[in-house]
């Protein structure tokens, strides 16, 4: 319980720091956003007008207060480019990115656990060398190159999906999932490579422990030892890593959404960056950071629930 | 054969080839990289055009090796400046401790809670576009992990007997940090530098794929890929050439990293 | 008493760093039904390795390179009106298949390990861990009937009570890290004995425990031996502990057996110089204040070249013969064998 309170306090402090940092990045470092948006040749009147719309003519502290108040009340401002409330823009795209992220995580876990166990079983054989080679290759492919390859091979050559024809999850959920499979796979492959490697190492570590000898001593089969005892222990030791992957899965989705033309948060973020839509970028960045911090918080709590050693000693 | 030697060799050969091509591109490229020749549009790889030509008839091999130069330059300058800044921050943080350590580590933690690409996007948004923007963006992206590592290493060695001994003999703080502590965390730093290089290349090519990296007309692998995306069906070599260059470079660096790690750590 | 286990000319090799060495060299002994046999020797003498070989738990660097480990499985129990069934043929445990091994381990032969802290799965409730061998072997009072959940629960409770775990019902739901070292060792013993194996190997089961807990664990092992007629191989480096519970002793030195015999006989009339040294180094109350004698020199490492009598470099009586020829067993008392040239020479002179 004390752990939970401490973790929650740290979470709140981190969230506060994130709002400060985000605000600072967009308001202190660059100078005049109006100038950046309109260019140095813009007329003073126009600049003045834009400053007023952006609210940048107010004192910084007031701006920060207004922004945070807006965030808390669900109204973080208006996008310049879309002339729409930021909240609406985010609301319509969030489900897409969340679904993509979930699909990716499921793929990562579903692939790397069996692969990691397999690699550990085949320790010191040619098969292990093969798996090592593929994990090395997996972490070396940038997500967008994989995406382009997949569009070419699975989309254009094999016709497993039609690139560019995004299917909305509202219209046709099945079609949406089918379309999203390859984007999710493009993000997942490097993560699968990393996680497989870690699970393999964790399995081999665990196989050397005393309880494995006890399990063999009472007549367990190799499978019984691996699946009843070792796997659980190995997974518990890699859960923190899965937490850390949330951030990189999101980073991956920013780029992959761009490649496949998926209207999610990532694509919105890139378009806001390229069109210098400050209010939108600022809020998106904050949202993303918040989501990641909160997910990590949840993963931390989950570890507490799963691992009896931590769970019970903290009581 | 010693552990990690094979990896190290393969890695050196791969990165050596790519780096060699990048250096050659300074003095010589088979074709001008911006020369458009409509007569040879979208030609498949041949002896005249090793990697084929794109939809403007530009030679992809020439563009890819010049791209290597730009990407590697960005990656190396990023990692170099990041290593310098982080080493200083980490050494100070670990060696001095106290409130300074606390402040540095809190800021580092806060930056760390953003995904890397997000930091790069923020910097690119708020700064004027230039060829340095991407270096600064990537540098800030890598500072947290490097600083943390140097700090941990420093803390470890700060309390070892030989450092305590040196302090008894009246060796000054700065000298201790630079002469005694720093060399000992060097292998760790070296392997992080190599990992950092491969991460910087991945990040740079992602950013330039998004059109936020090196400014046109300079070619970079990421932008070549984004240009090739629309013609992938008719001219796959346009995407494969820069893509495979990225993959080979990363594989090479990862191999070296693995070799160093197995050997020293 | 008939033999349950016979170790015949067992040799175990180590292969590490490209070299081949011998960890256990041509040893033979037997474990009889219902007895407690002690195996004593300094660490590294091969006593643990020998027993891991019996369990088939040697790690990758070790392998049986010669000899046999013969297990005589007794005839299965039959109902009173049925004709007695014949005993199954003896099996060589050094060469059994993985499947046969799974059938034997935990059911016929079990082991208790030295480190109770690491021998249990940290993420499994102890009740479940104690139940595991039962589920694996389906040991049942009525053959052919699968154990019910309630039955397993009852058997686990009984096993926990048997090994002296109080509040068994509550403790079943705990995880290993919530128990003390002594309690964990009891859990390990419960796991090893829940199927009532014929042979229990206890590899320094008390070394990691407090002295008071040691006494309790020894008493527990003795009770298991009496109650279920379970043969026990008790491995220890401590002759004082061996003396408390063992019927017979095997003394090992540097991969070889140097002396075997009934515990009392060996302690009162040790034949081998090494055994004499071991007995001298047991602290005694009447020698309080005098320095504890020790055996000069060191145990040779497994990678060193050894003399045919491995104790020769440290032995006060060693002669050239000891460095040329492996000593044969000499009977010096009832069932009391000593592997020493000097003793056989003395006997030869007497006759």
Query: C103 and C7: one domain?
Result: yes
Output the pLDDT for position A314.
41
For C53, which residue in chain A has the nearest alpha carbon?
A: A217
Q: Does residue C289 share a domain with residue C203?
A: yes
Written as one string, the DSSP assignment of C272-285 is SHHHHHHHHTS--G
Q: Is residue C115 part of a domain?
A: no
The answer to the question of residue C326 being in a domain is: no
CA dihedral B262, C13, C62, C203 (to 10 degrees): -130
Size of the A and C interface in Cβ pairs below 8 Å: 81
Q: What is the pLDDT of residue A107?
A: 94
Tens digits of per-residue pLDDT, B54-93?
Answer: 767 677 788 888 888 888 888 899 999 998 898 888 888 8
pLDDT at C141: 53
Highest average pLDDT, of A161-170, B58-67, B253-262, C172-181, comes from: C172-181
* Nearest Cα residue in chain B from A28: B126
- Whether residue A274 and residue B212 make contact (CB cut-off 8 A), yes or no, is yes
Q: What single-letter DSSP state applies at residue A85? A: B
Structure tokens at B2: 């010693």
Using an 8 Å CB-CB cutoff, list chain C residues near A224.
136
Non-local CB neighbours of C170 within 8 Å, separated by 6+ positions:
none
For residues C152 and C213, membership in a common domain is answered with no
Q: Is A227 on the interface with B (CB under 8 A)?
A: no
Question: Within a domain: residue C143?
Answer: yes
Q: Using the beta-carbon criterion (under 8 Å), do B110 and A288 form an inter-chain contact?
A: no
More confident residue, C78 or A110: A110
Whether A165 and chain C come into contact, CB under 8 Å, resolves to no
Out of B113, B211, B246, the one facing A18 most closely (by C-beta) is B113
Contact check, Cβ <8 Å, A218/C105: yes
The residues, ordered by sequence, that sit 6+ positions from A84 with a Cβ below 8 Å of its Cβ are A78
Query: C115: which chain A residues are within 8 Å (Cβ-Cβ)?
Result: 210
* Residue B37 pLDDT exceeds 80: no
Q: Note whether C57 contacts A232, CB cutoff 8 Å.
A: no
Q: Is B126 close to A251, i.e. CB distance below 8 A?
A: no
Residues C129 and C160 in one domain: yes
Residues 6+ apart with CB under 8 A from A281: A26, A269, A272, A273, B121, B122, B125
Is residue C98 located within the same domain as residue C213? yes
Which residue among A21, A276, A278 places its CB closest to the CB of B110? Answer: A21
Whether C257 and C283 map to the same domain: the answer is yes
Q: Which helix (H) or strand (E) holds C203?
A: strand C199-203
| B115·A251 Cβ contact <8 A | yes
Contact A273 B124 (CB under 8 A): yes
> Is the CB of residue C260 less than 8 Å away from at least one CB of chain A?
no
The distance of A314 to chain C (nearest Cα, Å) reads 12
Of C102, C103, C123, the CB nearest to A236: C123
Structure tokens at C197: 């194996």
Using a CB-CB cut-off of 8 Å, the residues of chain B touching A259 are 229
- The reply to whether C333 falls in a domain is no
Judge whether C178 is closer than 8 Å to chain A, CB to CB: yes
Predicted confidence at residue A315, as pLDDT, reads: 36
Same domain flag for C278 and C190: no
Name the residue among A211, A222, A309 with its Cβ closest to that of C120: A211
Which chain C residue shows the shortest CA-CA distance from A214?
C119
ipTM: 0.84
Band of residue A311 on the pLDDT scale cut at 50, 70, 90: low
- Using an 8 Å Cβ cutoff, are B207 and B129 in contact? no
Rounded to whole angstroms, how far apart are CA atoms A33 and A30? 7
Q: Is the pLDDT of residue A77 over 90?
A: no
The chains in contact with chain B, meaning 3 or more Cβ pairs closer than 8 Å, are A
Q: Do A137 and B205 touch (CB under 8 A)?
A: no
In a shared domain, residues C19 and C70: yes
Who has greater pLDDT, C17 or A184? A184
Provide the number of structural domains found in chain C: 2
Q: Are the beta carbons of B212 and A152 separated by less than 8 Å?
A: no
Which residues on chain A are in Cβ contact (under 8 Å) with B113? 14, 18, 289, 292-293, 296
**C265 and C279 co-located in one domain:** yes
Q: Which residues of A touch B243 (CB under 8 A)?
A: 142, 145, 148-149
Q: How many angstroms from the chain centroid is the CA of residue C296?
A: 27
Same-domain check for residues C210 and C99: yes
Confidence of residue A199 (pLDDT cuts 50, 70, 90): very high
Cβ of residue A209 closer than 8 Å to a chain C Cβ = yes
**Mean pLDDT for chain A overall:** 83
Chains that touch A (3 or more CB pairs under 8 A): B, C
Exposure string over C147-156, b if 16+ CB within 10 A, otherwise e: beeeebeebb
Q: How many CB atoms lie within 10 A of CB C217?
A: 21
Q: Which residues pair with C70 in a beta bridge?
A: C6, C92
Q: Do A215 and C121 touch (CB under 8 A)?
A: yes
| Segment A250-277 mean pLDDT | 87
Residues C100, C16 within the same domain: yes
> Which chain A residue has its CA at the smallest distance from B109's CA?
A14
CA dihedral A290, A291, A295, A297 (to 10 degrees): 10
Confidence grade of residue A106 (pLDDT, cut at 50, 70, 90): very high
**Coil/strand/helix, residue C230:** coil
| Contact state of C113 with A219 under an 8 Å Cβ cutoff | no
* Predicted local distance difference test score (pLDDT) of residue C120: 92
Give me the sign of the Cα torsion angle A247, A251, A254, A260.
Answer: negative
- Compare B182 and A217 and report the one with higher pLDDT: A217
User: What is the number of other CB atoms lying within 10 angstroms of the CB of residue B197?
Assistant: 24
Q: Give A221→chain B minimum CA distance, Å.
A: 33
CB contact under 8 A, B114 and A18: yes
Report pLDDT digits (tens) over A224-243.
Answer: 898 889 998 998 888 888 87
Structure confidence at residue C292 (pLDDT): 67
Physical contact, B and A (3 or more Cβ pairs within 8 A): yes
Which is more confident, C332 or B115? C332
Residues of C in contact with A237 (CB under 8 A): none
A22-47 pLDDT, tens digit per residue, is 888 777 655 566 666 666 676 777 77
- Does C343 fall in a domain? no
One domain for residues C159 and C267 = no
Residues of A in contact with B250 (CB under 8 A): 139-142
Q: Which SS3 state, helix, strand or coil, does residue C105 take?
A: strand
Residues 33-52 of chain A whose Cβ lies under 8 A from any Cβ of chain B: 36
Pairwise CB contact (< 8 Å): B110 & A14:
yes
Q: Give me the residues paired with residue C336 across strands.
A: C333
Least confident window among A159-163, A223-227, A294-298: A159-163
Domain assignment of residue C138, yes or no: yes
Give the Å distances, CA to CA, from C222 to B29, B143, B248, C111, C215.
87, 64, 67, 15, 11
Does A217 contact C177 at a Cβ distance shorter than 8 Å? Answer: no
- The verdict on a CB contact (< 8 Å) between A288 and B115 is yes
Is the sign of the CA dihedral A180, A183, A186, A187 positive or negative? negative
Substitution target in A39, A269, A273, A276 with the highest count of B β-carbons within 10 Å is A273
Domain presence at residue C345: no
Residues lower than pLDDT 50 in chain C: none
Domain CATH number, residue C28: 3.40.50.300
Residue of A nearest to C189 (CA): A214
Q: Confirm or reject contact between A256 and chain B (CB < 8 A).
A: no
Q: Which residues 220-249 of chain A have a CB within 8 Å of chain C?
A: 220-222, 224, 228-229, 232-233, 236
| pLDDT for res B42 | 66
Which residue range forms the structural domain that includes residue C68? Answer: 3-76+87-108+199-217+229-300
A255/B210 Cβ within 8 A: yes
Residues B27, B208 contacting (CB under 8 angstroms): no
Whole-number pLDDT of residue A56: 67
Task: Answer whether C104 sits within 8 Å of A219, measured CB to CB.
Answer: yes
Residue A21 at interface with chain B, using a CB cutoff of 8 Å: yes
The per-residue pLDDT of chain C, averaged, comes to: 86
Residue C349 falls within a domain, yes or no?
no
* From C105, C118, C175, residue closest to A217, measured CB to CB: C105
């Amino acid at each position: 319980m004390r752990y939970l309170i401490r973790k929650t306090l740290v979470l709140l402090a981190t969230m506060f720091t994130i709002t400060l940092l985000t605000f600072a990045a967009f308001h202190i470092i660059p100078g005049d956003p109006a100038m950046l948006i309109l260019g140095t040749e813009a007329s003073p009147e126009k600049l003045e007008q834009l400053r007023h719309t952006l609210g940048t003519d107010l004192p910084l502290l007031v701006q920060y207060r207004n922004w945070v108040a807006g965030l808390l009340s669900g109204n973080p401002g208006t996008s310049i480019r879309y002339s729409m409330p930021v909240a609406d823009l985010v609301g319509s795209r969030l489900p897409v990115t969340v679904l993509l992220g979930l699909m990716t995580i499921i793929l990562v876990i579903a692939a790397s656990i069996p692969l990691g166990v397999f690699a550990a079983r085949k320790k010191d054989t040619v098969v292990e060398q093969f798996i090592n080679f593929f994990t090395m290759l997996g972490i070396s492919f940038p997500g967008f190159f994989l995406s382009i390859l997949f569009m070419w091979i699975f989309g254009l050559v094999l016709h497993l999906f039609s690139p560019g024809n995004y299917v909305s999850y509202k219209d046709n959920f099945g079609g949406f999932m089918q379309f999203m499979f390859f984007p999710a796979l493009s993000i997942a492959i490097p993560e699968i490579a990393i996680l497989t490697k870690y699970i393999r190492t964790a399995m081999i570590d665990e196989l050397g422990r005393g309880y494995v000898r006890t399990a063999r001593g009472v007549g367990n089969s190799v499978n019984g030892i691996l699946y009843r005892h070792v796997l659980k222990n190995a997974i518990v030791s890699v859960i923190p890593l899965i937490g850390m992957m949330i951030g990189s899965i999101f980073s991956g989705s920013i780029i992959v959404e761009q490649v496949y033309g998926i209207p999610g948060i990532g694509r919105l973020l890139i378009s806001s960056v390229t069109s210098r839509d400050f209010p939108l970028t600022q809020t998106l960045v904050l949202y993303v950071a918040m989501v990641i911090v909160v997910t990590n918080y949840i993963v931390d709590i989950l570890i507490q629930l799963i691992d009896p050693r931590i769970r019970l000693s903290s009581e | 054969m010693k552990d990690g030697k094979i990896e190290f060799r393969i890695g050196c050969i791969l990165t050596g080839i790519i780096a060699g091509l990048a250096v050659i591109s300074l003095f010589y490229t088979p074709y001008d990289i911006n020369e458009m020749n409509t007569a040879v549009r979208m030609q498949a790889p041949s002896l005249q055009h090793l990697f084929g030509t794109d939809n403007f008839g530009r030679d992809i091999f020439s563009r890819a090796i010049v791209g290597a130069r730009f990407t590697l330059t960005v990656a190396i300058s990023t990692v170099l400046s990041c290593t310098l800044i982080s080493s200083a921050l980490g050494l100070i943080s670990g060696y001095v401790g106290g409130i300074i350590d606390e402040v540095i580590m809190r800021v580092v933690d806060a930056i760390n809670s953003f995904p890397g690409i997000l930091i790069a996007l923020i910097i690119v948004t708020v700064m004027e576009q230039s060829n340095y923007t991407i270096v600064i963006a990537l540098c800030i992206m890598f500072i947290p992990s490097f600083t943390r590592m140097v700090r941990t290493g420093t803390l470890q060695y700060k309390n070892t007997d030989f450092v305590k001994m040196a302090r008894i003999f009246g060796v000054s703080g700065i000298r201790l940090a630079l002469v005694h502590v720093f060399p000992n965390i060097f292998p760790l730093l070296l392997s992080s530098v190599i990992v950092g290089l491969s991460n910087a290349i991945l990040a740079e090519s992602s950013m330039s794929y998004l059109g936020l990296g090196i400014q046109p007309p300079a070619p970079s692998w990421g932008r070549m890929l984004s240009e090739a995306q629309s013609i992938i069906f008719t001219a796959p070599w346009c995407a494969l050439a820069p893509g495979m260059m990225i993959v080979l470079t990363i594989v090479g660096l990862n191999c070296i990293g693995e070799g160093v790690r197995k050997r020293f750590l | 008493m008939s033999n349950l286990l016979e170790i015949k000319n067992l040799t175990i090799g180590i292969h590490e760093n490209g070299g081949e060495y011998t960890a256990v060299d041509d040893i033979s002994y037997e474990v009889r039904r219902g007895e407690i046999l002690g195996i004593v020797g300094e660490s590294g003498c091969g006593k643990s390795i020998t027993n891991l070989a019996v369990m088939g738990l040697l790690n990758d660097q070790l392998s049986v390179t010669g000899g046999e480990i013969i297990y005589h499985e007794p005839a299965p129990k039959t109902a009173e009106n049925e004709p007695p069934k014949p005993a199954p043929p003896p099996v060589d445990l050094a060469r059994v298949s993985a499947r046969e091994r799974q059938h034997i381990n935990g059911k016929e032969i079990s082991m208790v390990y030295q480190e109770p802290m690491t021998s249990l799965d940290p993420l499994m409730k102890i009740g479940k861990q104690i139940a595991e061998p039962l589920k694996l072997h389906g040991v049942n009072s009525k053959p052919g009937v699968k154990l019910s959940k309630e039955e397993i629960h009852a058997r686990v409770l009984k096993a926990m009570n048997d090994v002296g775990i109080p509040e068994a019902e509550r403790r079943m739901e705990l995880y290993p890290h919530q128990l003390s070292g002594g309690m964990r060792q009891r859990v390990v013993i419960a796991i090893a004995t829940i199927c009532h194996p014929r042979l229990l190997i206890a590899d320094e089961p008390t070394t990691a425990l407090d002295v008071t807990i040691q006494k309790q664990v020894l008493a527990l092992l003795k009770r298991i031996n009496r109650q279920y007629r379970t043969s026990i191989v008790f491995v220890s480096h401590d002759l004082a502990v061996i003396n408390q519970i063992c019927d017979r002793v095997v003394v090992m030195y540097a991969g070889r057996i140097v002396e075997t015999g009934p515990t009392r006989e060996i302690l009162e009339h040790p034949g081998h110089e090494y055994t004499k040294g071991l007995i001298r180094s047991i602290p005694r109350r009447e020698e309080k204040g005098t320095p504890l004698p020790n055996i000069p020199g060191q145990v040779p490492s497994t990678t060193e070249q050894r003399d045919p009598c491995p104790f020769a470099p440290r032995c006060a009586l060693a002669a050239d013969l000891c460095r040329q020829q492996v000593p044969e067993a000499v009977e010096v008392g009832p069932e009391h064998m000593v592997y020493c040239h000097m003793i056989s020479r003395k006997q030869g002179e007497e006759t």
